Structure 1
C-alpha cells in the first residue's frame, strides 16, 4: 500500500514509517515545509520514498495522511485533481492541542464528515471542537531506544524547541526557580541565548541542539527528566525519556497526567513540588534509578511501537473499507 504524507513531525513519523507500507514523502528544492523529504537526523527505512509533485501525479496512492489544513489543497493539486476523501481515502492527523479560545476552538476538519480525524491524545480530542468529523485516538508509539539511563550527571534534562519564543506555553518562565533546585541542560531547536534571557549563569542553564541518537545518549546521562510545559500535546520527548529509563518531574497538565503513572516520577501543578522532587533525585540517585525503571516499564506497556502500528492498521483498514 502507498501512503502519502508530508514530513511534518520527525519523531512521530519515525514511528509511523516502521509499518508494512510504502510511504511517499513530498520533496521540493530547498526542502521547505511543504517538501522536506526524508529526515536527515532520524533513521527511516528504505520504504520511505521521496517524490516530487510532478512524479506524484503518476503515483498510485492508496491513502493520504494529512497533518496541516493547507495539505488538502496541496494533495488535490499534486495528485492531479484526485480529491482526498472522494477519489482517495484520507485521514487527518492532529498533533497539537488547540490554541486561542480553547473551550470553543473549532477544528479545521469539523465540517468535513468525509475525513477521519485522528488525535494523538485523548486530551486533544476532548479539547478540540471536532464538529461532525469522525474522531479516533491513536496514542503515540515510540521506537524503543533501549534502557540507556545512567543518571551520572546531577543535572536535569529538558527538551523543548524555541523556549524563548514559546514562553509560558513551554513553562520557560518556571525555569529560573527550577534551576535553583537542579542545574538544567536544555536540548532543542533555537535554544541559544536562553540563559541570558532568563538571567541565569551558563552553568545553571546550558543548551544544545543534538541529532536524535546523540540526544538520547545525552538525556540518559542526566539524573532526571524535567517537563515544565503548561500547554501542549503530549511531548514525545517525555515518552522517549521514560523509554530511556529516566524518572520524570513534570507539570500535571495536558496528557502528562495519563502518561506518567505513580512511582515513575512526580507530577504536580505546584512548581515548588517539582523543585523538591528534583532536589530529591539529585540527592538520592538510587531512588531516581528505581523510579526511572518503573517509568520505562509503563512507557513500554502503553506507548510501545507494536501497539501503535496495530492501532494504525485498524484505522487504515476502516478508512479504506
Structure 2
C-alpha cells in the first residue's frame, strides 16, 4: 500500500514505518509543520518517501492516516479533490488524551461513518466522546533499543518536551521536591534553563535535547526513569525506558497503571511515595536493576513491534474493504 501520513510524532512514526508498505510523507520548501518531510534524527527505512503537495495530486494513495483535524482538508486539497474516507480509505489516529472539560470532550471526528478513529491507549478511548464513529485501540509499539541499562549514574532520567509551558500537565511543578530525593537529568525540547526556572541548582537539575540514539544511551546510564506526568497520553519515552531495562517511578495517572506492572517500579498518586522509591534506588542499585529487568520483560510482552504492526495491518485492511 501507499500510505499518506504526516511526520507528527517521531517516535510513534518510527515504529509505524517498519511495516511492509510505502509511506508517503509530505514535504514543502519551507518545511513547515504541514510539510516537515521525513525525520532527520530518527532511523527510518528507505520505504519512507518525501512527496510534495504537487506530486501527491497524481500519486496513487491507498490509505490516508490523519493525526490532526486540519489534515482532512489538506489531504483533499493535495490529493486533487479526492476526499479521505469517501474517495480514499482513511483512518484518524488520536495521540492525545482530551483536554478542557474532560468528561464531556467531543472528539473532532465524532459521529463519522466514513472512517475509523484509532486511539493509542484504552484510557484515551474511555475519556474521549467519539459519538458513533467506529473506534479501535492500537497500543504503542516500540523498536526495541535493547537492554542497555547500566544505571551507573545515581540520577533520575526525565524525558519531556516543553516542560515550562506544559507545567502542571507534565508535573513540572513537582520536580523541585523530587529533585531533593534524586538529582534530575531532564531531556527534551525547550528544556534549556529549566533549573533556573524551577529555582534549582544545575547539579540538581540538568537538561539537554539529544537525538534519539544518544538519548537512549544517556537514559540507560541513569539509575531510574521518573515520570511525574499528571495528564497526557502514555509517553513513548516511558515505554522506551522500560525497553532499555530501567525501573520506573511514576505518578499513577492516565494509562501508566496499565503499562507498568508490579515489580517494575513504583506507581503512586503521592509524590512523597515516589521520592521514597527514588532514594531507595539511589542507595540500592541492584534492586533498581532487578526492577528494570522486569520492566523490560513487561514492555516487550505488551508493546512489542510485531504485535503493533499486526494490529495496524488488520485495521488498515478493514478500512480498505
Give the structure-1-normalised TM-score. 1.00
Determine whether 1:99 maps to 2:110: no
SS in structure 1 of the partner of residue 307 of structure 2: helix
Deviation at residue 111 of structure 1 after TM alignment: 2.5
Partner of 1:294: 294
Distance of 2:247 and 2:258 partners within structure 1: 15
Deviation at residue 30 of structure 1 after TM alignment: 1.9
Unaligned runs of 5+ in 2: none
Distance of 1:196 and 1:115 partners within structure 2: 47
Deviations 1:25-71 (A, max 9, x none): 00011211100101000000000000000000010000000000000
Partner of 2:204: 204
Determine whether 1:13 maps to 2:13: yes
Deviation at residue 113 of structure 1 after TM alignment: 1.7
Partner of 2:121: 121
Partner of 1:188: 188
SS in structure 2 of the partner of residue 49 of structure 1: strand
SS in structure 2 of the partner of residue 156 of structure 1: strand
Distance of 2:59 and 2:315 partners within structure 1: 22
Deviation at residue 142 of structure 1 after TM alignment: 0.1
Distance of 1:16 and 1:218 partners within structure 2: 24
SS in structure 1 of the partner of residue 148 of structure 2: coil
Determine whether 1:218 maps to 2:214: no
Distance of 1:297 and 1:57 partners within structure 2: 45
Unaligned runs of 5+ in 1: none
Distance of 2:230 and 2:291 partners within structure 1: 23
Distance of 1:315 and 1:215 partners within structure 2: 32
Give the structure-2-normalised TM-score. 1.00
Q: Aligned residue pairs: how many? A: 321
> How large is the RMSD of aligned CA atoms in angstroms?
0.4
Partner of 1:320: 320
Partner of 1:32: 32
